[in-house]
Chain A
Amino acid sequence: MAALVAGLPSGCFHCAEVLPAQAPTVAVDGVTRAFCCDGCAAAALWIRDAGLSQYYRLRRDEARRVSAEEEDFSAWMQPEILAEHAWAVPGGMEIVVLSAGLRCAACAWLVDQALMRENGVLDVTANAATGRIRLRWNPSAVDLSKLLQRLGALGFAPVLATGTARERTRRREWRRDVLRLGLAGIGAMQAMMFAEALYLDTAAQMPVATRDFLRWTTLLVSTPVVFIAGWPFIAGLLRGLRERSATMDVLAGASILLAYFASVVETLRGGGQVWFDASVMFVFLLLTARQLEQWARRRATLCVDALAQRRPVFAQREEGDGTLTRIATAKIRVGDVLRVDAGDSVPADGVLLDAQAALDEALLTGEALPVLRRRGDPIAAGSNCCERPLRLRVVRVGGDTRLAQLVRLLEQAQTQRPRLARAADRAARQFANGVLIAAVLVFGAWWWWQPARAFEVVLALLVISCPCALALALPAALAAATDALARRGVLVVRADAVEVLAAVDTLILDKTGTLTDTRLARDTVQTFGGMTCDEVLAIAASLQGDATHPLAAAFRAAAASGPELPRVASGTGQGTGPIAEPGAAEQAQIPCGLRPGLGIEGCVGGRHYRLGRADFAAARDDDGAVWLGDGQTALARFSVEQQLRANAAAAVATLQQLNISIEISTGDSAEAAAAVAGQLGINCWRARQTPEDKLARAQALQRAGHVVSMLGDGINDAPVLAGASVSFAFADGAALTHRAADLVLTGNALAGVAHSIAVARRTRRIVRQNLVWAATYNVVALPFAALGWVAPWLAALGMAGSSLFVVLNALRLSRSHT
């Protein structure tokens, strides 16, 4: 059985990615397993030899692909980085790092075990829920970079956390919240016990001394619950009073304090009844609902933190004598000569010093394919260097760069975004007004009829109309909705995102990277010289190796989607040989190379190939397509095009069914935009848009009364994401967009937008039902309370019952609908 599994590998045993023609193998637990690359194989080998292979049995998610090249973590050892991210503890230092690969409890266990084996490690706590690894080490016994390398080699490549101060605040807040909730739970249950004793005295036979003893004890137990656990509500009340706005917080805080102080007064003067239990139950129920909502959102924020992929950022400055020095990006000065490695992003605006260079500006401008820059051309910070290292002279730094301008635009847009009135706050205002008017009328009536009981009855009335269910209505529904969305790969980052989303009527879409991918159309591959389509694709993918630009990714994807992968004879030199034969990699590398602006050449299976422009690869005239050849004769022609994402059409159709009007706004050319809009049936599109244009368009729509949502992935979209009423970013988009967006989409992206809007609308419906129910309950209870007929136990039962109804109604949201 096991041998059968190993004989028919469906994907890499470690990361489940597609297997190459010659997959390296490792025997794990007595079964031979195949791996996609040497990196994964080495990780599995290490895990097996460390005796940790039960990880593979216990994990729920596949690991991430392990890069075959060892990442260099020496930059982490720089004093500036350590000063900001690590702190001293007894016996050594402590640092918190993030890892996007930390997905399940088994991963956390593996990280713990792996790092504890290293000398000089004092303590490790990996937390899969937060994606964080807390590491305590002794700097004199081991280098931090060695430990981080171990993490990287297992597929948990660490990235910088958000800084010591924020990490510590985060932990302090979490503990404070758990403490409050625990205290409220323990205290409220105990206060209920004593209140029960008082309730059971239905015939009022209890001696006054016993009754007062029990009341004073309840007072003792309730006080910390109200003032420590219930502090967020009291603080909300004070804030609301200062700002003179009647919000739900004011209502909740006022009710808690009212029930508490009314009970204190009745205890002191030996009055008819006390409501300590109502006060503490309110604190406990409301705190639970709020914490659930906050924790659901906090989980989302933590995931987004890991997506930002913060690494120590250094630039390489070329000194007068040609040597390179690593300097912090803050130390770059105008006039410096910098070197940027392939795959790195450009740290400052400058002019190119090399003859030519290819730059990926997709995130900055929306241009899909790498652009060619020549000597003296300007290069913008934030663009990615493709293919090979480049040199540039800095002309602008810091706040003057294009990137910094976009960040300023983003911040400005964020302050100007229109606010929607929250339904719950409106309900709270109406409710508070209604209850106050009723209280005045009732007090007047009793004063006229039976002045001795007036105070007592009005107090009872105010406590019984305690709007517990009303206050629960919103947080309970939001918690359920946030959770339901997270399960579908939509992370809700900002608090009122779901509410605003329900009101959205216009959606602006970016084109490049959002609606389209750079894709190689398999069915348009032409081959010459008798090779099959799959063979030429495999060769092309091998030549591209691990390059990161969109075209290389397109070749890899096309090769991987083939029905069966062709066998390329002998080692390919791209890390696909068995792990035992590292020599294979060396043969192929000598003639390999990138020819900027032309293509790439190298050896696959002993033959020399060129891939790129027609004149370079096959000695023909350039026709815009990508050719594979040996420099003289052509072997294949690939046409590369912007293709719609697989689910784009379906997602757009679903959105249109939801009565959302859709616009395309792109930095790309008019033809490209028109083609995509035509294919999707979208009437409105704008091409060649700068970030400022996009933002202006969104704001114009908002002024016209529309609630505008935006979906984008590039740095050029960040300002409009911040300015839209509610916005979506992609998990694999630029880090700046995560900062600007309210929701982050992982996985099957476009479908997530329609799904979120549908869930948001259902949430709005359920919140409304809840508000109506809660108000009805109070309206019915009010007359009885006004007549002085409601016993405290009945009031408590009614309150708990209506709250339960509201919570159960909200939970309907987490039941999966499609």
Chain B
Amino acid sequence: MTILLLLVPLAVLLLAAAVAAFVWAVRHGQFDDLDTPALAPLLEDAAPPLQRHAD
């Protein structure tokens, strides 16, 4: 069972990575709005945001 000595720390590292990713996402506002983004796939993006720099 010595493989556990490798696998368990590996699992803990992955866990740390997952928590870090989650913290990053929350801090960057990814969870601030849980309703509006649900609509995004239904919309044809009429005006890509870049357009406003053109006019």
Chain A residues proximal to chain B, CB less than 8 Å: 50-52, 54, 58, 105-106, 108-109, 113, 116-119, 121, 125-130, 171, 174-175, 178-179, 182-183, 186-187, 190, 193-194, 207, 210, 213-214, 217, 220-221
A118-B52, A121-B52, A221-B15 in contact; A52/B46 too (CB < 8 A)? yes
In the assembled complex, 29 residue pairs joining A and B whose CB atoms fall closer than 8 Å, in A order, are: A50-B46, A52-B46, A54-B43, A54-B44, A54-B46, A105-B38, A108-B35, A108-B39, A109-B39, A109-B40, A116-B47, A116-B52, A117-B47, A117-B51, A118-B52, A119-B52, A125-B29, A125-B33, A127-B33, A127-B36, A129-B34, A171-B32, A178-B26, A182-B19, A187-B19, A190-B11, A193-B11, A210-B4, A217-B8
A113-B46, A117-B47, A127-B32 in contact; A183/B55 too (CB < 8 A)? no
Beta-carbon nearest neighbor of B2 in chain A: A210
Bound: A21/B47 CA distance, A: 37
Q: Are B36 and A182 in contact (CB under 8 A)?
A: no
Bound: A190/B31 CA distance, A: 22
Bound: A121/B18 CA distance, A: 35
Q: Are A214 and B8 in contact (CB under 8 A)?
A: yes
Partner of A182, one of B11, B22, B29: B22
In B9-55, the 8 Å CB interface with A consists of: 11-12, 15, 18-19, 22-23, 26-27, 29, 31-36, 38-40, 42-44, 46-47, 49, 51-52, 55
Partner of A58, one of B4, B12, B29, B43: B43
CB of A444 to closest CB in B, whole Å: 41
Other A-B pairs beyond A117-B52, A127-B35, 4, CB < 8 Å = A109-B43, A194-B8, A210-B4, A221-B15
Q: Are A105 and B35 in contact (CB under 8 A)?
A: yes
Q: Are B36 and A109 in contact (CB under 8 A)?
A: yes
Bound: A221/B9 CA distance, A: 11
CB of A193 to closest CB in B, whole Å: 8
Partner of B42, one of A58, A113, A217: A58
Report chain B residues within 8 Å CB of A174. 32
Beta-carbon nearest neighbor of A129 in chain B: B35
Beta-carbon nearest neighbor of A176 in chain B: B26
Report chain B residues within 8 Å CB of A213. 4-5, 8
Beta-carbon nearest neighbor of A214 in chain B: B8
Report chain B residues within 8 Å CB of A109. 36, 39-40, 43
Q: Are B1 and A210 in contact (CB under 8 A)?
A: yes
Report chain B residues within 8 Å CB of A214. 8
Q: Are A51 and B22 in contact (CB under 8 A)?
A: no
Report chain A residues within 8 Å CB of B47. 50-51, 113, 116-117
Bound: A221/B51 CA distance, A: 48
Report chain B residues within 8 Å CB of A119. 52, 55
Q: Are B26 and A126 in contact (CB under 8 A)?
A: no
Residues of B contacting A: mostly = helix
CB of A757 to closest CB in B, whole Å: 30
Report chain B residues within 8 Å CB of A51. 46-47
Partner of B15, one of A50, A125, A130, A186: A186
Q: Are A186 and B12 in contact (CB under 8 A)?
A: no
Beta-carbon nearest neighbor of A106 in chain B: B39
Beta-carbon nearest neighbor of B8 in chain A: A217
Partner of A186, one of B8, B19, B32, B51: B19
Report chain A residues within 8 Å CB of B15. 186-187, 190, 221
CB of A43 to closest CB in B, whole Å: 17
CB of B17 to closest CB in A, whole Å: 11
Q: Are B39 and A175 in contact (CB under 8 A)?
A: no
Bound: A207/B4 CA distance, A: 13
A54-B46, A116-B52, A213-B8 in contact; A182/B39 too (CB < 8 A)? no
Bound: A210/B42 CA distance, A: 52
Bound: A269/B5 CA distance, A: 22
Bound: A553/B46 CA distance, A: 40
Q: Are B22 and A186 in contact (CB under 8 A)?
A: yes
Q: Considering the complex of A and B, which 3 residue pairs feature the smallest CB-CB distances, nearest first? A: A105-B39, A51-B46, A108-B36
Bound: A322/B23 CA distance, A: 60
Report chain A residues within 8 Å CB of B8. 194, 213-214, 217
CB of A526 to closest CB in B, whole Å: 52
Beta-carbon nearest neighbor of B30 in chain A: A178
Bound: A214/B34 CA distance, A: 37
Q: Are B46 and A183 in contact (CB under 8 A)?
A: no
Bound: A182/B47 CA distance, A: 35
Bound: A52/B46 CA distance, A: 7
Bound: A749/B38 CA distance, A: 31
CB of A493 to closest CB in B, whole Å: 21
Report chain B residues within 8 Å CB of A108. 33, 35-36, 39
Bound: A193/B15 CA distance, A: 12
Report chain A residues within 8 Å CB of B12. 217, 220-221
Report chain B residues within 8 Å CB of A113. 46-47
CB of A659 to closest CB in B, whole Å: 40
CB of B41 to closest CB in A, whole Å: 11
Report chain B residues within 8 Å CB of A127. 32-33, 35-36
Beta-carbon nearest neighbor of B51 in chain A: A117
Beta-carbon nearest neighbor of A183 in chain B: B19
Report chain A residues within 8 Å CB of B42. 58
Beta-carbon nearest neighbor of A185 in chain B: B22
Beta-carbon nearest neighbor of B15 in chain A: A190
Q: Which of B11, B38, B43, B51 has the most CB of A within 10 A?
A: B43
CB of B35 to closest CB in A, whole Å: 5
Q: Are A186 and B55 in contact (CB under 8 A)?
A: no
Report chain B residues within 8 Å CB of A179. 22-23, 26
CB of B21 to closest CB in A, whole Å: 10
CB of A95 to closest CB in B, whole Å: 16
Beta-carbon nearest neighbor of B33 in chain A: A127
CB of A182 to closest CB in B, whole Å: 5
Report chain A residues within 8 Å CB of B52. 116-119, 121
Report chain A residues within 8 Å CB of B46. 50-52, 54, 113
Q: Which of A51, A109, A126 has the most CB of B within 10 A?
A: A109
Report chain B residues within 8 Å CB of A220. 12
Report chain A residues within 8 Å CB of B36. 105, 108-109, 126-129
Beta-carbon nearest neighbor of A55 in chain B: B43
CB of A175 to closest CB in B, whole Å: 5
